[in-house]
Amino acid sequence: MPNQVSMGAMMTCSFGAAPAPLVVLPKNKVLCEGPPAANIMDHVPIVNITPFGVCTSIANPAVASATAAAMGVLTPMPCIPATSAPWVTGAPTVLIANMPALDNVSKCMCNWGGVIGFSSSGTVKTMIP
């Protein structure tokens, strides 16, 4: 069974170099084992999804430009997440602030091709059916 995701859950990106914590603002007014619980709308770059060190996606214009300047040698550049769509799929049967709750098997797509997922959910006891 998937776990509820809360503030401090650790995320990874398929093109990122380092894990990053999820930031959940207390606007949803729901706590889960202490910290604020997340829903699928907690996908705002920099606000909720923090940078993953450096980006290695050639679809990222900064990486493409640096790689071209280095004569085709892949040159990672600082990560700036570009997530314009909500997390998929969440838990449609559990609502937090009228939106599906975010579980640890949900994914979020970066505009540069990265797939963002969870390495830890921030909770250990709260499971979602």
pLDDT digits (tens, 9 = 90+) for 81-110: 999 999 999 999 999 999 999 999 999 999
3-state secondary structure of 125: coil
3-state secondary structure of 64: helix
Q: What is the pTM of this model?
A: 0.93
Please say whether the beta carbons of 22 and 39 come within 8 A.
no
Q: What is the DSSP letter of 77?
A: E
32 pairs with which residues across the strands?
none
Question: Sign of the C-alpha dihedral, residues 56, 53, 18, 35?
Answer: negative
If you compute the radius of gyration of the chain from its CA atoms, what whole number of angstroms results? 16
| pLDDT of 128 | 79
Q: What is the mean pLDDT of residues 4-11?
A: 96
Predicted confidence at residue 126, as pLDDT, reads 82
| 20-47: pLDDT as tens digits | 999 999 999 999 999 999 999 999 999 9
